[in-house]
Chains A and B, each alone.
Chain A
Amino acid sequence: MIRLEGITKFYMDKGGIGKGNRVYALKDLNQEFSDGKIYAVFGNSGCGKTTLANVISGYSTPDSGHVYYDGSLVKRENSVRIVFQDPYTSLNGSKDVAWHMETTARINGMNPEKIWNTYENLGFFRSDYENRMVWTLSGGELQILSFTIAFAQKPRCIVLDEPFSYLDTMTINRVMNLMRNTKDKILYIYMDNDMNRCGYISDDILIMDGGSIIEQGQTDTVIMHPEKEFTKGIIRNIPDIRKRIE
């Protein structure tokens, strides 16, 4: 369980007209994420999703407010893992895939075979990828690799920051089935800007705009009966495969 209390985060504007002003990325957030559920956070680009992911996972400290992990302020060793947005900079390009598996296993004191098993369940075979250097992989293969490393350490919570932007439909389905089957052990917080994927995977949905959460609830009720104007516009404009653009 993760609880946010009065989180505020701002950045300083370093140049241009508004030099020296504060730009607020998060404004006074209060939210509770309870175990056994998949949460989706929806928002357009620039609304503060990445900042929220960094604050939850402890990679940046908030300017005011606290994050509680299972009721305590201390982040334990295995309490939270993050999958970053940019797959090109989150892995070591000059090493091969096997090095990443062995290092993850050595740090956590586990068997590398278990990580390879997770990788093969997602449709990527050890014989094909063992000796590939990381810089030769495509963007989607890198995203799967960083998801595998985060998942195989069995944390209490995984924060996914737009993890499927370079992936194809069949692989997304495999990952989403894996997430559904393990959601009573791991709490997932999933950020995306595609309403189709958010609505498909999540139990609860939070909708962000301008640094604050403007609407939240169970996914069925939010999709069927949206309250705010912003949410109504989003639901009306969900991309459909049969709507041609002329």
Chain B
Amino acid sequence: MQKNYIDDNAPLLEVRNLSCGYLNRNNYREVANGINLRLYRGEINGIIGEIGSGKTTLVRAIEGKIFRSSGDIFFRGESIFIKKNYFKFRKKRVVVKQDSMNALRPRYSVEFQIRKLFKGGKYNENELKRAFDLLNLDLEILNKLPVQLSDGTRHRVLIAMASLVKPEILIVDEPTAGLDIMAIRGMLKLFRELTQTTSIIMISSDIIPIFQVCDRVYVMREGQIIEDGKWSELLDKPHHPYVKDLLESMPSVRNRKKEFVENYNEIRTECVYSDKCRYIDERCRERIPYRFDGEHGYRCIKYPEWTDDSA
């Protein structure tokens, strides 16, 4: 067991005021700005947001692969943008990406690629059986080629491989896309068991699995984090009207008679939800600070007022 010189109360990974984007020869397009994120040991953090809101860009920034204009990322209290620390960090994290075909070699069998993870060629068979059992996969798959598998199956094989390595930080991007219910439930159980050794960042546009397994949930819109908190607080008492609308408008069997209609306003302001918010005010045009209510952070200037006049 490796000895930790840093106390357990400090966060394992800390993103402080990060702004990042894509840099070409001519122009710079900023996608995410002002992002604060903390990952503690043994926790699962979830990030939800619309498509095009910068979730995948944030993953690439945490990997250390794209340009940042300001801010910093700390792994065990050391900045990863220093070269020496970056190579240390790179061995401790694993990223499972959205397109699984590019991550596997198409013409080699799955078992060959699992053995290649451990250079000697031996892997723990009991752990592999346990992971395959939870993810609803056959052991026959080990002899097949990745081109013969479907998209969801390939994604599950990647997650089983990541669980064998046991990295300190595991980042999964859209793990639940295209899977059925039993496979999703098994995957969430596997994530819960993994938290003894690893901390997980889970990014998805599907809300239900995020709230079923995560300890802390971040909500993104148009490149900013607009609210974060414990999962139970976010469900019971959302501080931002966008989050309330998001939770109410979720398609489910229970509210099938209800039809959700967004309000369209003409005013364009600084707040990211100002074009569709129903509690719009003149104060929303100003730059809105990120405020705190105990452990619960949010970016809305009208918080205690809009809860009173809600219908």
- Bind each other: yes
Residues of chain A touching chain B, judged by Cβ–Cβ distance below 8 Å, are 44-45, 85-86, 88, 138-141, 144, 162, 165-174, 176-177, 180, 193-197, 199-201, 219, 223, 234, 237-246
Residue in A closest to B249 when the chains form the complex, CB atoms: A173
Chain B proximity of A35: nearest CB distance (Å): 22
Contact B174 A139 (CB under 8 A): yes
22 residue pairs of the A-B complex, CB under 8 angstroms, read A44-B181, A45-B179, A85-B178, A140-B51, A141-B51, A165-B178, A166-B177, A166-B205, A169-B205, A170-B245, A170-B262, A177-B259, A180-B259, A195-B181, A199-B256, A200-B255, A234-B181, A237-B181, A238-B253, A239-B208, A241-B211, A243-B212
Q: Given A141-B51, A166-B51, A168-B50, is A245 in contact with B185 using a C-beta cutoff of 8 Å?
A: yes
Beta-carbon contact of A88 and B99 below 8 Å: yes
Report whether B50 and A170 are in contact in the complex, using a CB–CB cutoff of 8 Å.
Answer: yes
Instruction: State whether A197 touches B180 (Cβ < 8 A).
Output: no
Closest residue of chain A to B242 (Cβ to Cβ) is A170
Taking the closest CB of chain B, its distance from the CB of A209, in whole angstroms, is 12
Do B235 and A242 touch across chains, with their CB atoms under 8 A apart?
yes
Smallest distance from the beta carbon of B166 to chain A beta carbons, Å?
20
* Interface size of B in residues (CB-CB distance below 8 Å): 47
Cβ contacts under 8 Å, A170 to chain B: 50, 245-246, 249, 262
CB of B235 within 8 A of CB of A241, answer yes
Indicate if the CB atoms of B152 and A45 lie closer than 8 Å.
yes
How distant is the Cα of A25 from the Cα of B178 in the complex, in angstroms? 19
A196 partner residues in chain B, CB cutoff 8 A: 208, 250-253
Does B296 make an interface contact (CB < 8 A)?
no
B261 within 8 A of A: yes
Chain B residues near A88 (CB, 8 Å)? 99
- A196→B249 CA distance, assembly (Å): 12
Q: Are A169 and B52 interface neighbours, CB within 8 A?
A: no
Residues of A within 8 Å of B244, CB to CB, are: none
Interface string of B32-66 (1 = CB under 8 A from A): 00000000000000001111100010000000000
A120 shortest CB reach to chain B, Å: 12
Given contacts A234-B181, A239-B184, 8 further A-B contacts (CB under 8 A): A86-B151, A167-B51, A171-B50, A193-B181, A194-B181, A196-B253, A239-B209, A243-B212
CB distance from A216 to the nearest CB of B (A): 17
Write the nearest CB–CB distance from B197 to chain A, whole angstroms. Answer: 17
Report the nearest A residue to B253, measured CB to CB: A199
Q: Is the CB of B51 within 8 A of A245?
A: no
Of all chain B residues, which has the CB nearest A123? B50
* CB atoms of B251 and A200 under 8 A apart: yes
Whether B192 is near chain A, meaning CB under 8 Å from some CB there, is yes
CA–CA, A195 and B180, complex, Å = 10
For B251-267 the 0/1 string (1 means CB < 8 A from A) is 11101100111100000
Q: How far is the CB of A53 from chain B (nearest CB, A)?
A: 15
Of A44, A85, A144, A166, which contacts B180 at CB under 8 A? A44
For A162, list chain B residues within 8 Å (CB): 178
Residues on A with C-beta less than 8 A from B250 are 169, 196, 241
**Distance (whole angstroms) from the CB of A59 to the closest CB of chain B:** 18
A195's nearest neighbour on chain B, judged by CB, is B253
B130 in the interface (beta carbon within 8 A): no
How distant is the Cα of A199 from the Cα of B258 in the complex, in angstroms? 12
- How far is A223 from B262 in the complex, measured between Cα atoms in Å? 28
The answer, among B52, B252, B260, for a CB contact under 8 Å with A141, is B52
Asked whether any CB of chain A lies closer than 8 Å to the CB of B207, the reply is yes
Which A residue sits closest to B185, measured CB to CB?
A: A245
CB-based contact B251/A172 at 8 Å: yes
Taking the complex as formed, is B268 at the interface, i.e. its CB lies under 8 A from any CB of chain A?
A: no
State the CA gap A165–B174 with chains docked (Å): 10
Q: Name the distance in Å between B121's Cβ and chain A's nearest Cβ.
A: 25
B213 part of interface (Cβ distance < 8 Å) = yes
Measured CB to CB, the closest approach of chain B to A246, in angstroms, equals: 6
Which one of B151, B192, B209, B251 lies within 8 Å of A201 (CB-CB)? B251
